[in-house]
Chain A
Amino acid sequence: MADKIKLDIVSAEEEIFSQDVEMVYAPAEMGEVGISPKHTPLITKLKPGDVRAQINKDEMKTFYVSGGILEIQPNEVTILSDTALREDDLDEERALEAEKLAQEAMKNSANEVDATKAKSELLQAAAQLRLIKKLRSNSKK
């Protein structure tokens, strides 16, 4: 079995990929780098582009990163990605995002209505409570 290197791709919002791979290609700022196991420690910035992971001879996975930091240790590669989405999901994700935004806008407005309603009911209840107290103290006299 060929040597492998551990690849972790993480973005601030979630973990994207974590697996042992044979080779990693990443778009470093000074040009694309290919990383095999036992690479010397290196730290560099990434520019927007594709990160390719050779999982085994037949399988290659591609991820899009819009920038970030690449850290290499002899037996592990860490990509701190700014926004990395899986290739397949890229377009779908964007579409979903747009939909979600619209939904969220609606949800927010609904929440605001609820809050105003709750507030006005609260005020009403307090007014009624005061009235009851007044009535009670009057009847005691």
Chain B
Amino acid sequence: MSGSQEIRSQIASIQNTQKITKAMEMVAASKMKKAQDQMIKARPYADKISNVISHLAHAHPEYTSEFFATREVKKKGYIIISSDRGLCGGLNNNLFKLVVETIEEDNKSDIKPAFSLIGSKASSFFQRMGGDVMAQTAQLGDKPQIEQVLGLIKSTIDSFISGEIDQVYLVYNKFLNTVSQEPTLQKVLPIQAEDKDDNYDHYWDYLYEPDAETVLESLFTRYIESLVYRGLVENLACEQASRMVAMKAASDNATDLTAELQLIYNKNRQAAITQEISEIISGAAAL
């Protein structure tokens, strides 16, 4: 009967783990809701600022800024947004795989990568992989504020303007719905002017105060910031959704495992009883 004791404590231990995974599932579900709200709230700003930029591109098509500079690509910058915590399925790994594949592809044409990392998972992965890390930040919590990533964005933009890197990509998980997230690689620098809107048919331009350069520079900086911030909150929603799904799967597995072990336990016990009875009977028959 030594086996059945083991099985019983095994079942108890699985059930304990299941309690944790269930709790994590519920916590993730409520946090996902909050992250989604944050995502929706950030939308008006992003919409407005891209509106202004497209107005601008129309009003001032000949305007050239350092933000639009297209150069021959020798070094690509990646702003990689990851989660701070694990236990969220393949979320981060899928994202890193996308980056690694892109880098390998670029290797053939001798393009080098440089990283700006958000989240401790990205920090540990890309530090291990080696490569040029320009900036990093982690531990943003469940309600990231834009202030927390401003420094990172500034240093990335500065490297772009100084010509150290020739393109900047934003890498994050796009929130499609609760069960599906899509690793996304989005080009943010140089800024690509959108196609002209046919609705405007006469030429006009803004008045700039104090002058075009200063205003536009701060406008473009904010535009990049809003893109990164959007990526950040979307990635957060993805993290919670993915954790919720992973923890649900873990809880379900625990249920299956418990049922299986219970069956083995019952069979063992029945076998022991049967054996005991047959021993008694055969003992009685021998008398």
Contact = CB atoms under 8 A, between A and B. Distances in A.
Contacts of B107: none
B59 interface: yes
Contact of A121 (B16, B38, B207): B16
Contacts of B17: 118, 121-122, 125
A40 B209 CA distance: 13
A121 B20 contact: yes
Interface stretch (B89-97, B177-185, B191-199, B210-218): B210-218
Contact of B10 (A69, A117, A122, A128): A128
B44 A41 contact: no
A117 B208 CA distance: 59
Contacts of B87: 115, 118
Nearest to A128: B10
Given A14-B41, A15-B44, A139 B146 contact: no
Interface residues of A, number: 41
A92 to B, nearest CB: 17
A11 interface: yes
A53 interface: no
B52 A71 contact: yes
A42 B207 CA distance: 4
A56 interface: no
A90 interface: no
Contacts, number: 120
A69 B218 contact: yes
Contacts of B219: 43, 69, 80
- Chain A at the B interface: SS class: mixed
Interface stretch (B1-9, B65-73, B277-285): B1-9
A135 B85 CA distance: 36
B6 A128 contact: yes
Given A125-B13, A135-B3, A139-B3, A43 B42 contact: no
Most B CB atoms within 10 A — which of A11, A40, A43, A71?
A43
Nearest to B212: A43
A40 B204 CA distance: 10
- Chain B at the A interface: SS class: helix
B179 to A, nearest CB: 23
Nearest to B225: A12
B164 interface: no
Nearest to A105: B141
A15 B141 CA distance: 22
A109 interface: no
A125 B209 CA distance: 67
B215 A45 contact: yes
A42 to B, nearest CB: 4
Given A44-B215, A45-B214, A117-B20, A10 B7 contact: no
Interface string B88-131: 00000000000000000000000000000000000000000000
Nearest to A11: B45
Given A69-B219, A118-B17, A14 B142 contact: no
B208 A131 contact: no
B45 A10 contact: yes
B14 interface: yes
B208 A43 contact: yes
Most A CB atoms within 10 A — which of B7, B45, B210?
B45
Interface in A1-59: 8, 10-15, 18, 28-30, 40-45
Given A13-B42, A42-B209, A114-B20, 7 more contacts: A12-B229, A15-B41, A42-B206, A80-B222, A118-B87, A125-B14, A136-B3
Interface of A: 8, 10-15, 18, 28-30, 40-45, 68-69, 71, 73, 78, 80, 104, 108, 111, 114-115, 117-118, 121-122, 124-125, 128-129, 131-132, 135-136, 139
